Chains A and B, each alone.
Chain A
Amino acid sequence: MKSFFRALYEVIGLPQPSSETPVYREVIFPNIGLLNIGITLALLVLFYLVINRYMRVATFSRPRHWALFLGLNALIAFVIVIAQANGQNVESHSYIYWLALLNAIYAAVFFFILSLIFRKLSVNASTTPF
């Protein structure tokens, strides 16, 4: 699992500064990866199942609502990287923000791909995003 997240996050290069590599590989990559997946799933459940199936909210199934959730997911993914980096006391470096951006992109991609599955479980939003 560690090596999976390591491969996932080292596509933008090795952690910087390199002194902090062990902490990124041992702690931060797995943490942000798992949080990212978990939060993405939680938001998808909230959007497709809670709001648009059980609650049957009539006016929250449009693509712009979906896009709002996607943006929210990406924002959370960005923030958790910075929070993790601070929490683990790694040396500050612009790499942290690159990593946060990468994590936000991954969050958006996951959200999009998983939406194609989750929409089938929904009633009101079964055609969102398309």
Chain B
Amino acid sequence: MFGPMRFSSLSFYKVLPALAVLLAGCYSRSDMEAEQGAGKTTPAATEQPEPTAAATKPKGNTAPGPAKTAASATSFPQVNVFLEVSGSMQGFMPAAGANAQTTQFQQQVSEWLSGLERDGRVQQRRYFRIADRPIADTYRALSETVRRGIRQPATSTSIPAILDTVANRYLADEAISVIISDFIYSPQNPGDVPYINTDIADALAHSRRDLAVSVYAFKSDFKGTYYPAMKGKVAGCCPQPIPYYMWVLGPAELVGQFDATLMKDQRGEQAHFGLAAAEVPSSVLSRFHRKGTWFVADAGKQAGAGGHAVAVEEATAEEPAEFVVGLDLAQLPELFQKPEYLQKNLALRGNTTTAKVAKVEAATEATRRSGGPEAAYTHFATIRVTAKPRSKQDLTLALPAARPTWVQQWSTANDSKPGPYTFALNRQLDGLQRLLASRNTGTNAADVLRVSLSIQPD
């Protein structure tokens, strides 16, 4: 459809304006860039697409309309924001002189706070400074604190105490709580470091059943005194950026919506615990790389159709039946798309010992261009069945949750030399994950993805 538009012979310039208007809806910026990148366009030609780009732009904005209206239907009855204002946070919010530069913390947090304050989906907002207990504050005052620095630093509060208070007192129904802190937690007794995960889990143990926690990690300049976890302090810190975190706590459903709306487009890293496991598009491919005699029992009348129930006619250890499950993992984090990782971790659960994941492969150019149903999937898991099932058996193809890779890089066992890492972050998040995984097996704290399958005799 774009063929004539790219074609830059002179006779076309006469009709270009008309065409440009006609094809406004079809003309995309990437095409324009391609055209300009070609470098053959005359000034007259480069000017023509300009109005089309302008015409396309509102169109591009309205295109995801249904999604937007769906998002606007979501609302957050109450959002609580907690900002830690102990001495260790001072470096993120240096008292700004006239010429002082702001830190990324100040930029990001005040932008985020302002976005929250303006957002129409939030019905009630409450702001707190965390001293030894949460102290109610106003948006204006809190925003001022972020910009101008902490006036009266509070004594340090332990992370489990903060979590305990927030989870038990500020997570009523339909409330979201956001904690902004450096999350440096040092147990009173240095020997208790291995128990950090337990401390975190204990702090949240009595919270609501459907608790979910999303952790957002950022790095910021730090100008002030750094208080390492174990002891001492580093004055005039720091040459390297220091991490800080926003923890979003609340009912799983609301946290998911909050992640998708108010935490959208945040730079930095993130980890989610307790949200519903991802529903990835999947299907047993009836004709792709099959072995043995079986068919897709719920395929219906369309030849070559997929499904999730496999009827095995014959299978033995010597001549197993093999079927391929197509998975579209494009929406998952990169780690979970690595075939080697999937090969190692993707597991088939169920009351059977005769069905196993044999191998996992990523899509190739050949599968993408095949034109068959396999073209829709990014990964292919081959399941080997070594015995004909006696009755219908439900199986779950699941990828167990794992700590995101960035967590290890952001963690340290010794932060006496401040750097872009946090003391025992991995232990904190492990505690979080273990607690939430044991509560609700259907959540992503337990599994990243789940695909329900079944095998049955013919």
Contact = CB atoms under 8 A, between A and B. Distances in A.
Instruction: Tell whether A pairs with B.
Output: yes
Nearest to B288: A19
Nearest to B298: A22
Interface residues of B, number: 19
Interface in B341-371: none
Contacts of B296: 19, 22
Contacts of B38: none
Interface stretch (B19-27, B300-308, B398-406): B300-308
A94 interface: no
B304 A26 contact: no
A22 B287 contact: no
B302 A14 contact: no
Describe A's contact surface by its main secondary structure.
helix
A18 B303 contact: no
A18 B295 contact: yes
B301 A19 contact: no
Interface in B281-314: 286-287, 290, 292-297, 299-305, 311, 313
Contacts of B303: 20, 23, 88-91
A34 B261 CA distance: 57
A29 to B, nearest CB: 12
A18 B313 contact: yes
Nearest to A16: B293
B300 A26 contact: yes
Given A18-B295, A18-B313, A26 B301 contact: yes
B293 A14 contact: yes
A89 B286 CA distance: 13
Interface in A74-96: 88-91
A90 B301 CA distance: 11
Given A23-B301, A89-B304, A90-B303, A14 B287 contact: no
Contacts of B295: 18-22
Contact of A22 (B290, B297, B313): B297
Interface in A37-59: none
Contacts of B313: 14, 18, 21
A18 B294 contact: yes
B187 to A, nearest CB: 59
B300 A91 contact: no
A91 B301 contact: no
Nearest to A27: B301
Contacts, number: 44
Contacts of A14: 293, 313, 458
A19 B286 contact: yes
Interface in B3-24: none
B293 A22 contact: no
B83 to A, nearest CB: 60
Contacts of B297: 22
B41 to A, nearest CB: 46
Contacts of B290: 17, 19
A23 B300 CA distance: 7
B294 A22 contact: no
A91 to B, nearest CB: 7
A87 B84 CA distance: 70
Given A14-B293, A14-B313, A19 B302 contact: no
B298 to A, nearest CB: 8
B434 to A, nearest CB: 43
A39 to B, nearest CB: 23
Nearest to A20: B303
A21 B296 CA distance: 8
Nearest to A91: B287
Contacts of B287: 19, 91
Contacts of A21: 295, 311, 313, 458
Select the residue from B287, B301, B303, B458 with max chain A CB neighbours within 10 A: B303
Interface string B438-458: 000000000000000000001
A119 to B, nearest CB: 39
Contacts of B294: 18-19
Contacts of A23: 299, 301-303
Contacts of B293: 14, 18
Contacts of B302: 23
A116 B299 CA distance: 42
Nearest to B295: A21
A110 B300 CA distance: 30
Interface string B113-154: 000000000000000000000000000000000000000000
A30 B456 CA distance: 24
Nearest to A89: B303
B371 to A, nearest CB: 13
B415 to A, nearest CB: 58
18 contacts: A14-B458, A18-B294, A18-B313, A19-B286, A19-B294, A19-B296, A20-B303, A22-B296, A22-B297, A22-B299, A22-B300, A22-B301, A23-B299, A23-B303, A26-B301, A90-B303, A91-B287, A91-B304
Given A23-B303, A26-B301, A88-B303, 8 more contacts: A14-B293, A18-B294, A20-B303, A21-B313, A22-B295, A22-B299, A27-B301, A90-B303
Q: Which 9 A-B pairs have the closest CB atoms?
A: A21-B295, A18-B293, A89-B303, A19-B286, A22-B299, A23-B303, A26-B301, A90-B303, A19-B287
